[in-house]
Structure 1
Amino acid sequence: MLRVSVLGGQQITDDQDSGVQVRSSRALALVAYLAVHPGVPHPRQRIAGLLWPESGDAQALTNLRRELHHLRQALGEDGSLQVTARDLCWVDGPTCHADVRAFDTGRLAALAAAESGDDDAVIRHGGEALAQYRGDLLPGVYDDWAAEARERLGRQCVELCDLVGAARARGGDLTGAAAAARRRIELRPLEETGYRVLMGLLADMGDRAAAVSTYHHCASVLERELGVAPDDATRAAFRRLMTRNRPTAPAGDGPPVITKTAQQAQSAGRPGQPRAPLIGRAAELRVLTDVWQAASAGRRGMVLVAGGAGVGKTRLVTEVADLARRQGAVVVATQCFAAPGRLALAPVADWLRDPAVRAAAATLDQAWRAEVARLLPDQGVPGIDPRPGTMADAWQRHRFYEGLARALIAVGRPLLLVLDNVQWCDQETLDFVSFCLGLTGDETPLLVAGTVRDDHRRGDRELAAWAVRMRAAGLLTELALSPLDAADGARLAEAISGRALAAADAATLYATTGGFPLYVIEAARGEAGEPGRVDEGGGSPPGDLSAVLRRRLAQATPGAQEVAGLAAAVGTDFSLGLLTEASDLTADAVVEAIDELWRSRILRELGTGYDFSHDLLREAAYAEVSPARRWLMHRRIAQGLELLHGGATDGVAAQLAAQYARAGDRAKAVAFFRQAAQIAADRFAHTESIRLYRDALSVIAAMPAGRDRDSLELAVLTALAAPLNAREGYASRALERNMQRSIALAESLGRADLVQVGFVGLGVTWFVQGRTADCHRVSARALALADPGTSTAGQARFMMGGSALSLGRPAEGLRDLTFAAGLGGGLELLSVGTLANVHATAWSAHAHWLLGDEESAARAAQEAIDLARAIGDPYNVTIALAYSAITQQLRHDLPRLREVVAELRELCQRYEFGYYREWGLILDGWSAASDRDGLGARLAEEGADNLKAQGAFARRPYWLSLLADLLAKQGRPTAARATLDAALTAGRVHDDLWWLPEVMRMRARYDPPEGAVARLRAAADLASSHGSVALVRRCEADLSDLPGLGDLSGRGDLSGRGVRPLSSPAEGG
């Protein structure tokens, strides 16, 4: 079945191969035009003129023929598109499903059912039609005919929502009717009818809080978009809602009892301007506008507006967002919060939930939609189970990010993403922004507009480092915002208060507010609450204004002040339902309090809930709550969250953890911290995962000592190891400490299984750190504890084999690596995140070469690459290539080395693989044809320095010897000699002995003849004791070349002294 999607997206897909057949906007516009006007022949000349109005008749017809050719190829045998020499026509057929035709068919059937009074058929056919309408017709296409058809179809969908909603309401399905009303509001957010219907339905369902929130949403949208208040009918509906079921006094005892809040609600109005005017920002607005226009023209990037709290950053960005909307762009805004409880990548999830983005993302291939489902499981596409959290995650993280980015840019038109309060942004969201802006292969115009507080920014090293990287990539434009001057501050206050300020009042205002717009606005609104007073806090220092904010809150009724404190304890994005569950007040009292705070512009409507209009107001409200009261509030908030979310707490796990921690319930806090940390790890948000696990450990540290506490700490430490590895690398000192503490706890608790796991993990860390002998020792302990044939035994043999090779025992190493390669049929996942058959086989190639079997070395290296490619996992391919590159360097196969290194470096760059990236740098530098310009040495030095900075000292003698070779080619013997001396020292310090004979051989070149002979003989003896046939032969060759030594008859054949190359792994013992 072919599927034509033109509602909310633009593509033609085939069910048989799940592939996209057509994405050409003009071809889809042609299909859409015909499907919107079906069953009627349309002259080619007319269609060509509609689709290509800027072209001449002949060119337009040529364009039409081209698109028809592509369409007929895509549609194949399907007969829906009927083509003659003169006309084109769309006819519905059984092998092609067009969403716009299915919508119209279902709509007409629902209308017919309504005529006959069949509500069940109305609901059935209408529901089928609404399911087809995933968004506007041909989003991003602005042809006149498309705009007209888009408006007509949108109106028909709205009318269908009304029809279905009414039918459901008559049948008693108020929940279904409310869903239809919400769909209507989504389609026509500026029409008040939908809000009124929804308010009535929610009131009938007994959900007064949701009905009040609906009115607030309506009023906020109208204020923001049109600058008007709701009309008389909507305000009247709200007044009825606020007085509904209100207790009245007995007859003759006076008027109904109406609270102060209800009296304020009688007007259903909201004092003050809906949005503060933009004053004194002309120059800054020009800069932002220019950046947006550049982004619209295809120059992707991010603009970051910086300044102090309350300086007007968000207001300035909002102005540009309004401009972008008017120009037809998709604008999606979100913000970050200081309060704990938001999961990593929450801002990205907010962007993806936008209706336009969601509709466009639904047209992506299922593989990409599955990646989006990792972040938004409610999208209805099964996600992909994450792999263990190690450095191997990097390629999956890359694919995950690419899926999210593709979902955003699928809108196919200019896109402005707003990110408020970047100073509180999680690192993963920042990383995603960098990734998304740098994604190639798509030309969708994209700008990210962010705001950041200067005071927080200066102390945030990670944010500063991210900004440096963004600047270096040419992706970041920064704009500093300063407070207003006295004159502009006075103008702003006059606009808010509606009256002129006397010179003395203006001076007082500026002295109090320092020209910060937020404080000017709050002072002016405070004056509106108590006319005749500019502010009580005239003595407050600029930028503080705590007195002004306290006064604003103090103007609220006691009930509203209490609810404000409770809301501040929640933190952000709170719902009426949660506040009602957590409050001592009645549900009606909470509703009235929220309404009062909303009217006072202390709170603002946010999605389906509320938030403070500024973070400083939240801080002021929380400061007014006593410590004892805070403890009780946090406990009730946590309990309310659990109650409201039932067993589905994944989305609020971090929030629950923070609330229970503040409430003193340590056990529950730890449980939810662990849940939130695992969710973060599943999203590859390793920084966030580490932070949450460490929060759990902080709570555990305060628990009474004992076995239960130790067991809990061990469980958290075990889980923490994976994200630590992924974020900081194998050589991480924090990972080492984590492993050591885990082992100590496991031994004290008698958990032999976890002791084994800890030993293997510690062995990996020690090996990469250069503690080769310690790695072999701890791996042997793990093997001694493990049952033969188990996974742990195999993993221990893998690390024993690798460390034995580095200790100068290649035969022993080959034996253990061969055993590990067969672990679990070769498909066993090692603790380092790689497959045993790939990693162990690739490493064994080095042992083969040292033992003199060059043919087996080449074969093992290629076998590992072939295995990795068959699996299709980029990280395993990278491992195989990295080890193969060393093998080719050992063999001096320069053509093959260059080929392997080129692919290795490309993979490391694409997927941001650390560690092996440095291998690629060094080996790429060494493989240069010549190094007269010093580029090869610079690459090798960069790679070696990077490994040292990471604390990764494994193979350091080998890396330094390659660098020394390059320095020698440059004619820098002194530097080369010093580098080789450093290599010798590193080998002895780190017990990295396998390459020392070669380092000694190279170092002999700089010795006088007698010293060279002695050093070469010592190198040969060392290689012979290792059993390294290949290195013995190199020493023999150099000794033979020295004058006066002849054929070394007095020494015999060094390669034969106790050294036997292995022809097969089985001969290794």
Structure 2
Amino acid sequence: MLQVTLLGEQVLTDPDGAVRLRSSRTLELIAFLVVHSDSPQPRQRIATLFWPDSSDEQALTNLRRELHHLRAVLGDAKSLEVTTRDLCWRDTTECVVDVRAFGAARAAALASTDSAGFLRHAEEAVRHYGGDFLPGSHDDWALEIRNALEQQCVDLLDRIADGQRDLDTAVAAAKRRIQLRPLEEVGYRTLMKRQGDLGDRAGAVSTYHHCASVLERELGVEPDPVTRKTLSTLLARGEPAVSTRRQGRAGTRLIGRTTEFSALLELWRTASEGRPSLALIRGDAGVGKSRLMTELAGTAARAGAVVANAQCFGTAGRLALAPVADWLRTPAVRAGLGGLAPVWRTEVDRIAPSARTRADPGPSTRAMAEAWQRHRFFEGLTRALLAVDRPILLTLDNLHWADPETLAFITFGLSLNPRAPIMVAATMRDEFTDHEPGLDQWIDRMRATGSLNTVALSPFDAQETAHLVESVTGHRPSPQDAAMVHATTGGFPFYIVEAARSGDGEATAADLTTVLDGRLEQVSGPARQVIELAAAVGRDFSLDLLTEAADLDADGVVAAVDELWRRRILHECGDCYYFSHDLLRAAAYDRISPPRRWLLHRRIAQGLELLHPDNPDAVSAQLAEQYARGGRGERAIAYYRRAADVAAGRFAHSEAIRLHEAALALVRELPEGLDRTAKELELLEATAGPMNAAFGYSSPRLRQTLTRTIALAEELGRPHSVLDALIGLWASLFVHGDAVGADRTATRILALATPGSQLLGSAHFALGGSSVSRGRLAEGLRHFALAAEHEDRYSLRIGNRSDVHGPAWAAHAHWLGGDDDRALATAASALSVARTGDNPFSLALALSYGAITHQLRGDRGALAAVLAELTELCARYELAYYCEWALILGGWLRGDEAGLAAAKRGIDNLTAAEAFARMPYWLALVAELQNGVGRPGEARATLDAAIATAHTRDDVWWLPEVLRLRAAHDDETGAVKRLRAAAELATEHGSVALARRCAADLAARGVAFDVRPAALAGER
């Protein structure tokens, strides 16, 4: 059965959920025929309507083309009737259209003679109404149908909300009505009344605040007297009516910023036409960055674009990618997810889950263990945002507090589709010193891509200051007063507005601290209590949280929040509130004494636990920070651990490390003893994985963590933990280039791994790799063979498949031992196994080791083919380490100056990462390139460095070849001596292939050297 969705999005999907059509002229043709299905539509009328600027003949040709596409898409479905003159849509079971389903359910509801029947059919109709008809289309016929369908849905919702005894159902209907008609006050009044009937005064107040904010922002007006009276009645409840009007004027008109706003509009115009970009609005705190971004968002929304808003907060307690989750929760974005393939919906559900039963908890974080999946994760999130099939503007307030994963996602999201109509608009403080680490470097990288555009804001001049004061107070200040206010405030709009609001309608001159303190002093005692709690929360908060944490009863909290909202200290956003500016929040928090803060943080944490008993993960980071600030270290440790697991499940490795280290700091404050040691061990074990993913195998921090883990595990007598950490330490030491330390560690692993141990295969693999690296080829092959006999396919700490890694590495040893055919077959086998699973990392590993095998064999054609695939794979999944192998080997394959530059860049990258494994081999390839482009002196120096590195690190498997190449730069006597030493070393290793090369060079100089076949077996 085909599914045609025309409400909320434009998409046609097949029975498997795969998208067949999205936002095309063909879908618009379906839509036109569907809404006119009561009668056949003349071809000429359709052609003229759809292509008014074309000749009649050309328009009919265009229609025939779309009909061809439509027939192909519909397949066997008999929904389309075609004659030479007319087209007509017929409902069939093979093709279901949401517009028709909505109409049928609505008709059934209106025909029902009992309330239960009406409700059943009306709710079905509302479910089918996913949003605007043909969103994004501006054709007159589509606009007419859109308005009519929306009105039909609104009428159904009004009947449900007004006539239902089930108050929850009535409230849900009223909320949906507000989504459809956000500027009609009647919907807000209905919702407030029903919430009042339900006893939800807090919800009713929030509804009024939302109504007032929308009207003020969009129309510059306040709610009418009837709406205000509705709230006043709900708040009074037998007491004298309270004021419902906000303090001062909103000042909704944008003052000044003509040049800056024009620049933003031009950036948005370009982006909406298919050039993704990032607009960064910069300036000092209080200069008006958020106000300008809000103006842009409103303009884009009124033009039909999708606008998704998010903000970052300066206090801890965040979840990684929280702003991205907020974008994905935007109703228009959620509506577009229906046409998203299941594989991408799964990724979206990781951070913005859709409704599901308890029995279906969604994707397991265990599935996130592979770091390469981060690319697919980000791709799923990006596809979800772009599925709206309209220009989309993503706003992000306070970029300077964004977590690294959000920054990484922005980079990815703007680069996935270079023609996507998407723009990110973000605000950032210039003077801020407590930036997210790496933010400046990220900005530099974004600028280098050409996608970053900066709009800088400066303070207002005296004339603009006067205009802003008048906008807020309603009074034009005298030139002298305006000059005084400008001099005192420095022209910062936030300061000007707060000064105006604190002066009872007149702008006053005082320092900012005095102004903010004065604003906070004006509130009542209960409101002051709520301010303290809100400041301690540090981010957006719900009325429910304040009610749980405050000394006040629910009505007292509601009244206090209403007062703070009316004084414009708090803003409303959905079901939550936040400070109108972080400077106000900081001022409020600074006024709280340390003991009082301690108490407030505890209360907030306890409130969060009470509100989220079934899903503490969603607030785990916030709980950890609140308990830590409240002096409850034990509880903070547990929640830091949970928050770190959530972060790891989102590939937020840096955040996971930060959270684990915060927990470790608290653990180390506990009294000494086995319990503290066990807690530290558990945290260190959990930290190693994210640390490896974030910093790579060769990270010194990773080695320190693993070394400490081993010591603690030995102290506690936990052999499995010891082995697991030793395997990770071996990998780190090896990649770092410490061949001796890695070999010693591998030997220790094998000694500790008992028969039947799940880690025995990893133990043999580790010792096999170390043995080959140190020139013990026969021993290495024996251990690789033993590793293959065990079922330990996935290393617990290394993260790769031993049934891929082992054979891929063994191929090098087979070639060195003189068995070229077996080397090729083993490498091919490893690659074949790697291709059987959906694991790009294993595939990249097999390709990388296979590339070395082809280079050793001198098969340039095979090497070129493998490198092409490897390079694309590394670029697509952002795979570090092996991309450097591809650079070096690709440079060697080119053989020219550009190839030399690429190879040196690869070595520089490995060196920067402290990944010195195989460095003699890499340097030898560079030396060959230097010789090839006529730089023998540089080649000689590079080979000397390779020799020194091989001896220093005991990474000697390629040393015979390095010595052979170096001999070409010696005099005759020195060359013979060096070649003989190289041949003897190769023989000692059992490296027949390299011994033969040395023997050939000696023979060319008239010196015989016998390459013993026994070396093939590794005999000494």
> Quick one: distance in 2 between partners of 1:773 and 1:767?
9
Does residue 1:510 correspond to 2:467, yes or no?
no
> Quick one: distance in 2 between partners of 1:226 and 1:443?
34
Does residue 1:313 correspond to 2:313, yes or no?
no
Could you say which residue in structure 2 is the equivalent of 1:997?
960
Does residue 1:203 correspond to 2:196, yes or no?
yes
Could you say which residue in structure 2 is the equivalent of 1:426?
403
> Quick one: distance in 1 between partners of 2:365 and 2:633?
29
Match of 2:921 among 942, 952, 958: 958
Could you say which residue in structure 2 is the equivalent of 1:871?
837
Structure 1: tracts of 5 or more residues without a match: 247-255, 1063-1067
Could you say which residue in structure 2 is the equivalent of 1:323?
299
SS at match of 1:993: coil
User: For residues 98-146 of structure 1, what are the alpha-carbon distances to aligned partners after superposition, in whole Å with 9 as ceiling and x for unaligned?
Assistant: 1111111111111111xx1x12212221222111111211111111111
Does residue 1:45 correspond to 2:68, yes or no?
no
Could you say which residue in structure 2 is the equivalent of 1:89?
88
Does residue 1:1059 correspond to 2:1009, yes or no?
no
> Quick one: distance in 1 between partners of 2:355 and 2:446?
31
Does residue 1:523 correspond to 2:499, yes or no?
yes
Could you say which residue in structure 2 is the equivalent of 1:393?
371
Preserved CA contact (<8 Å) 2:18 2:339:
no
> Quick one: distance in 2 between partners of 1:726 and 1:739?
14
Could you say which residue in structure 1 is the equivalent of 2:432?
456
Does residue 1:18 correspond to 2:17, yes or no?
yes
Preserved CA contact (<8 Å) 2:964 2:978:
yes
> Quick one: distance in 2 between partners of 1:333 and 1:506?
34
Q: Which amino acid aligns with 2:57?
A: A
Deviation at 1:458, TM superposition (A): 8.2
User: For residues 165-214 of structure 1, what are the alpha-carbon distances to aligned partners after superposition, in whole Å with 9 as ceiling and x for unaligned?
Assistant: 345x32xx211221111111111111112211111121122111111111
Q: What's the TM-score, normalizing by structure 2?
A: 0.97
Does residue 1:417 correspond to 2:365, yes or no?
no
SS at match of 2:92: coil
SS at match of 1:306: strand
Could you say which residue in structure 2 is the equivalent of 1:282?
258
Q: Which amino acid aligns with 2:874?
A: C
Could you say which residue in structure 2 is the equivalent of 1:123?
119
> Quick one: distance in 1 between partners of 2:339 and 2:13?
9
SS at match of 1:269: coil
> Quick one: distance in 2 between partners of 1:193 and 1:864?
68
Does residue 1:1032 correspond to 2:995, yes or no?
yes
Structure 2 counterparts to residues 365-404 of structure 1, below 5 A? 365-378=341-354, 380=356, 383-386=362-365, 392-394=370-372, 396-404=373-381
Preserved CA contact (<8 Å) 2:777 2:817:
yes
Could you say which residue in structure 1 is the equivalent of 2:655?
688
Preserved CA contact (<8 Å) 2:760 2:790:
no
> Quick one: distance in 2 between partners of 1:275 and 1:54?
44
Q: Which amino acid aligns with 2:889?
A: L
Preserved CA contact (<8 Å) 2:500 2:507:
no
Could you say which residue in structure 1 is the equivalent of 2:167?
174
Q: 1:818 to 1:383 in 2, by over 3 A?
A: farther
Could you say which residue in structure 2 is the equivalent of 1:575?
542
> Quick one: distance in 1 between partners of 2:363 and 2:51?
43
Preserved CA contact (<8 Å) 2:220 2:252:
no
SS at match of 2:13: strand
Match of 1:971 among 929, 934, 946: 934
Q: 1:388 to 1:777 in 2, by over 3 A?
A: farther
User: For residues 594-620 of structure 1, what are the alpha-carbon distances to aligned partners after superposition, in whole Å with 9 as ceiling and x for unaligned?
Assistant: 111000000000121100000000001
Does residue 1:795 correspond to 2:769, yes or no?
no
Runs of 4+, deviation exceeding 4 Å:
379-384, 386-390, 457-461
User: For residues 991-1021 of structure 1, what are the alpha-carbon distances to aligned partners after superposition, in whole Å with 9 as ceiling and x for unaligned?
Assistant: 1011111111111111111111111111111
Deviation at 1:340, TM superposition (A): 1.4
User: For residues 797-851 of structure 1, what are the alpha-carbon distances to aligned partners after superposition, in whole Å with 9 as ceiling and x for unaligned?
Assistant: 1111111110101111112223323432x74355322222111111111111111
Preserved CA contact (<8 Å) 1:791 1:828:
no
Preserved CA contact (<8 Å) 1:845 1:857:
yes
> Quick one: distance in 2 between partners of 1:821 and 1:893?
27
Preserved CA contact (<8 Å) 1:961 1:999:
yes
Query: RMSD over aligned Cα, in angstroms?
Result: 1.8
> Quick one: distance in 1 between partners of 2:709 and 2:352?
34
> Quick one: distance in 2 between partners of 1:619 and 1:138?
45
> Quick one: distance in 2 between partners of 1:208 and 1:523?
32
Match of 1:546 among 513, 525, 531: 513
Deviation at 1:19, TM superposition (A): 2.1
Structure 2 counterparts to residues 95-114 of structure 1, below 5 A? 95-113=94-112
SS at match of 2:438: helix
Preserved CA contact (<8 Å) 2:401 2:435:
no
Match of 1:909 among 857, 863, 875: 875
Does residue 1:897 correspond to 2:863, yes or no?
yes
Q: 1:533 to 1:232 in 2, by over 3 A?
A: closer
User: For residues 520-556 of structure 1, what are the alpha-carbon distances to aligned partners after superposition, in whole Å with 9 as ceiling and x for unaligned?
Assistant: 000001112xx66714x3xx3xxxx111111111111
Preserved CA contact (<8 Å) 2:162 2:190:
no
SS at match of 1:136: coil
Deviation at 1:422, TM superposition (A): 0.4
Does residue 1:754 correspond to 2:724, yes or no?
no
Does residue 1:719 correspond to 2:682, yes or no?
no
Q: Which amino acid aligns with 2:294?
A: T
Deviation at 1:387, TM superposition (A): 5.3
Q: 1:818 to 1:161 in 2, by over 3 A?
A: farther
> Quick one: distance in 1 between partners of 2:614 and 2:219?
41
SS at match of 1:134: coil
Q: What's the TM-score, normalizing by structure 1?
A: 0.93
Preserved CA contact (<8 Å) 2:368 2:650:
no
Could you say which residue in structure 1 is the equivalent of 2:579?
612
Q: Which amino acid aligns with 1:146?
A: A
> Quick one: distance in 2 between partners of 1:706 and 1:275?
61
> Quick one: distance in 2 between partners of 1:508 and 1:773?
74
Preserved CA contact (<8 Å) 2:12 2:22:
yes
> Quick one: distance in 2 between partners of 1:458 and 1:478?
20
Could you say which residue in structure 2 is the equivalent of 1:1065?
none
Could you say which residue in structure 2 is the equivalent of 1:763?
730
User: For residues 480-521 of structure 1, what are the alpha-carbon distances to aligned partners after superposition, in whole Å with 9 as ceiling and x for unaligned?
Assistant: 211112232232123212223234433332232111110000
Could you say which residue in structure 1 is the equivalent of 2:601?
634
Q: How many residues align?
A: 1017
Q: 1:728 to 1:694 in 2, by over 3 A?
A: same
Preserved CA contact (<8 Å) 2:312 2:402:
yes
Match of 1:224 among 180, 205, 217: 217
Preserved CA contact (<8 Å) 2:275 2:419:
no
> Quick one: distance in 2 between partners of 1:996 and 1:498?
84
Deviation at 1:461, TM superposition (A): 4.7
Q: Which amino acid aligns with 2:571?
A: R
> Quick one: distance in 2 between partners of 1:661 and 1:119?
54
Deviation at 1:222, TM superposition (A): 1.0
Preserved CA contact (<8 Å) 1:371 1:404:
yes
Deviation at 1:379, TM superposition (A): 5.1
Preserved CA contact (<8 Å) 1:295 1:445:
yes
> Quick one: distance in 2 between partners of 1:458 and 1:281?
27
Deviation at 1:476, TM superposition (A): 0.4
> Quick one: distance in 1 between partners of 2:966 and 2:430?
55
Deviation at 1:708, TM superposition (A): 1.1
Preserved CA contact (<8 Å) 1:387 1:393:
no
> Quick one: distance in 1 between partners of 2:406 and 2:171?
34
Could you say which residue in structure 2 is the equivalent of 1:474?
450
Could you say which residue in structure 1 is the equivalent of 2:4?
4
Preserved CA contact (<8 Å) 2:733 2:741:
yes
Q: 1:532 to 1:353 in 2, by over 3 A?
A: closer
Preserved CA contact (<8 Å) 1:492 1:520:
yes
Q: Which amino acid aligns with 1:429?
A: T
Deviation at 1:384, TM superposition (A): 4.3
Does residue 1:735 correspond to 2:702, yes or no?
yes
